Amino acid sequence: MIWTILLLFNVILFFLLFSDRTRSKREPPLDKGIIPWLGHALDFGKDAAKFLTRMRMKHGDIFTVRVAGRYVTVLLDPRSFDSVIRDTTSLDFSRYAQILMERIFGLQLPNHSSDKEKAIMRRHFHGEGLASLNDTMQRNLRVLLTSEMLPDQTDWKRDGLFNFCYSLLFRAGYLTLFGGEQNNNKTDATNVYEDYRRFEGLLTKLARKTLKSGERQAVFSVRQRLWALLALSGLREDSSLWLRDYRRLLREEGFDEETQRRALLMQLWATQGNVGPAMFWMLAYLLTHADALTAVKKELSRVTLPGGVFLDPKQPTPVFDSTLEETLRLTAAPFITREVLQDKTLVMADGQEYDLRKGDRLCLFPFVSPQNDPEIHPEPEKFKYDRFLNADGTPKSDFYKGGRRLKYYTLPWGAGRNGCMGKQFAINTMKQFVFLVLFHVDMELCDPKSGIPGFDTSRYGFGMVQPDREMFVRYKLKAQSRIH
Ligand code: HEM
């Protein structure tokens, strides 16, 4: 026993004396936290926004923190983001992405060509390919919404708004991109949605390796079920051309069936994980801000196709766009992470230079700045649907920090080479969805006094945040609505 204690003592001493790092003058302020090795991991995982805001007050716009043995430099000055986003030589996106891919999806894709994958994505999510995906998505949304509520039904239905939005958009997106059982479309998509939500509920713990043993079993078995449910996606005629091309690429690259299914689950997450939560927040804000609801309704009622039943996708919608941008400003919180491949000097917008060490990580968190920075967006905690509109109703894009006009005044879609590939499809989908709900559904809050939910703070860094509780609504199809 005494030998074990002595050995442990020596290991800790060695650790503290030799492995502990000190800051050199040219490096960003270093904050290791008081717990050896772990550093700030607990605070970071519990509420990254609160923790990083506190660090920013203490150290300024750039600092390095120790998180579970790794050193992460956090940059919170949006004027200097380009020096990170544009540097694809010293800073690497894929290594950390691969670590997460393995932890979350049990997936390794050695020698996979991400350039070919992106080219396939571009082919189908832009231009003509996009127009056809929009049509299919619009049809699926309409069918699901109407099958949700029978046209002759006069009673209200009750559901959580988060589940209402996520379930509808997920199933419509799944049917559009992944396809469904020909003879039983609805059940198939519903099964996938339910298992997906169980999986996603534990996804952040999978990524951080903080699962308890019961949770580990649960998440592994639901992941297995999802792999099985996705087995035929991209092989069947009813899958989108995008998914069929993607699966063909994986086959040509020599990946076995098992690996292909794991990759499909990752694509399911990338394509379906953000739109539902984003629409929950947008409807939640609209239902609690009458001025915004009136303005969006007024605009959308003017941009319909003849007959007024369908939205004309070609018409500009600055009010809707501003409302969406404001929603995403408040609720999109991805980390933009890069691995430092070689020692590098980061030149900030104010000319200040900082040395970064090879092997460290660099992280941008636009949720804190620019998105919630009071210098850029006054009263950042408030929802203002017209924040991105000029007085004459045109889109507003001039925002400033330190007297300098900003290129990145919000950053919900990421940026550069690794920015969102599905942005336009997502925007079209969301516009369609809001139109359908506002014009074909009567919807009311069950408890208007309870207000908008708070954030599940453990999800910062993983795209759209999710609410910490449900917000219940009652809804029914409008009497005059017969949408087929
Ligand atoms: C509100 C909706 C959405 C938001 C806020 C969003 C946001 C993002 C962000 C921030 C990234 C960059 C992630 C990173 O840097 O690690 C990203 C990547 C990506 N998104 Fe989206 N996204 C949305 C919807 C969609 C949709 C509907 C699709 C496709 C149908 C899609 C496809 C992708 C793909 C394929 C990538 C990976 C790009 C790469 O690896 O280089 N996204 N998205």
The protein residue with its alpha carbon nearest to ligand 1, atom 39, reads: 418
> What is the model's pTM?
0.94
Lowest model confidence (mean pLDDT) among 146-150, 191-195, 326-330 = 146-150
Instruction: Report whether 279 contacts 165 (CB < 8 A).
Output: yes
Q: What distance in angstroms lies between residue 421's CA and the mean position of ligand 1's atoms? A: 6
Mutate which of 329, 420, 429, 466 for ligand 1? The one with the most ligand atoms within 8 Å of its CB, which is 420
Q: Is pLDDT larger for residue 375 or for residue 11?
A: 375
Tens digit of pLDDT for each residue in 156-174?
999 999 999 999 999 999 9
With the CA atoms of 88, 93, 98 and 99 taken in that order, what torsion angle do they form, in degrees rounded to the nearest 10?
Answer: 120
Tens digit of pLDDT for each residue in 401-454?
999 999 999 999 998 889 999 999 999 999 999 999 999 999 999 999 999 999
DSSP 396: P
User: Residue 15 — pLDDT band, cuts 50, 70, 90?
Assistant: low
Question: Quick check: 282 pLDDT over 90?
Answer: yes
Q: What are phi and psi of 85, to 5 degrees?
A: -65, -35
Question: Quick check: 293 pLDDT over 90?
Answer: yes
Peptide bond into 334 cis (omega under 30): no
Alpha carbon distance 234, 193 (integer Å): 18
Tens digit of pLDDT for each residue in 55-87?
999 999 999 999 999 999 999 999 999 999 999
| Nearest atom in ligand 1 to 418's CA | 41
The protein residue with its alpha carbon nearest to ligand 1, atom 7, reads: 413
Question: Of 343, 377, 337, which Cα lies nearest the Cα of 358?
Answer: 343
Q: Say which residue the tokens 């060509």 belong to.
A: 113
Q: What's the mean pLDDT when you consider all of the chain?
A: 93
| Nearest atom in ligand 1 to 277's CA | 1
CB atoms within 10 A of CB 165: 25
Alpha carbon distance 251, 238 (integer Å): 19
Q: What distance in angstroms lies between residue 255's CA and the mean position of ligand 1's atoms? A: 24
State CA 435 to chain mean position distance.
22
- Domains in the chain: ranges and CATH: 114-334+412-477 (1.10.630.10)
Where would I find the beta strands (DSSP E) of 179-286?
none
Count helices and strands (H / E) in the chain: 17, 13
Alpha carbon distance 361, 357 (integer Å): 9
- Helix H or strand E segment including 340: strand 336-340
Question: Of 226, 219, 212, 221, which Cα lies nearest the Cα of 269?
Answer: 226
Question: Quick check: 224 pLDDT over 90?
Answer: yes
Instruction: Report whether 296 contacts 431 (CB < 8 A).
Output: no
Alpha carbon distance 62, 52 (integer Å): 10
The radius of gyration of the chain from alpha carbons, rounded to an integer in Å, stands at 24
Q: Say which residue the tokens 């502990």 belong to.
A: 20
Instruction: Report whether 202 contacts 168 (CB < 8 A).
Output: no
- What does the pLDDT read at residue 4? 53
- The CA-atom distances, in angstroms, between 464 and each of 101, 318, 458 are 18, 22, 12
As a whole number, mean pLDDT of residues 282-309 equals 94
Tens digit of pLDDT for each residue in 126-159?
988 999 999 999 999 999 998 877 666 678 999 9
- What does the pLDDT read at residue 198? 98
The protein residue with its alpha carbon nearest to ligand 1, atom 3, reads: 274
Question: Quick check: 13 pLDDT over 60?
Answer: no
Report for 2-6, 304-308, 317-321: range of highest mean pLDDT: 317-321
Percent of the chain, pLDDT > 70?
93
Question: Quick check: 346 pLDDT over 90?
Answer: yes
The protein residue with its alpha carbon nearest to ligand 1, atom 22, reads: 420
Question: Of 227, 236, 233, 240, which Cα lies nearest the Cα of 177?
Answer: 240
Tens digit of pLDDT for each residue in 93-134?
999 999 999 999 999 999 999 999 999 999 999 988 999 999
Q: What distance in angstroms lies between residue 428's CA and the mean position of ligand 1's atoms? A: 14
With the CA atoms of 221, 225, 227 and 233 taken in that order, what torsion angle do they form, in degrees rounded to the nearest 10?
Answer: -170
- What does the pLDDT read at residue 94? 93
Question: Of 345, 372, 357, 360, which Cα lies nearest the Cα of 460?
Answer: 372
Alpha carbon distance 143, 477 (integer Å): 13
CB-side neighbour CA atoms (13 Å) of 212? 2
Q: Are strands 70-75 and 361-364 parallel, antiparallel or unpaired?
A: parallel
With the CA atoms of 248, 249, 251 and 254 taken in that order, what torsion angle do they form, in degrees rounded to the nearest 10?
Answer: 170
Q: Are strands 400-401 and 404-405 parallel, antiparallel or unpaired?
A: antiparallel
What value, to the nearest 5°, has the Cα angle with vertex 135 and ends 418 and 250? 45
| Ligand 1 cavity residues, CB under 6 Å | 121, 270-271, 274-275, 278, 332, 334, 336, 412-414, 418-422, 425-426, 463-464
Instruction: Report whether 136 contacts 177 (CB < 8 A).
Output: no
Alpha carbon distance 327, 18 (integer Å): 47
Assign 3-state DSSP to the chain and report helix, strand, coil percentages, each to 5.
50, 15, 35
User: Residue 290 — pLDDT band, cuts 50, 70, 90?
Assistant: very high
Question: Quick check: 466 pLDDT over 80?
Answer: yes
Does 103 belong to an annotated binding site?
A: yes
- What does the pLDDT read at residue 483? 47
Alpha carbon distance 141, 160 (integer Å): 18
- What does the pLDDT read at residue 152? 64
- The CA-atom distances, in angstroms, between 19 and each of 108, 344, 361 are 31, 22, 18
User: Residue 261 — pLDDT band, cuts 50, 70, 90?
Assistant: very high
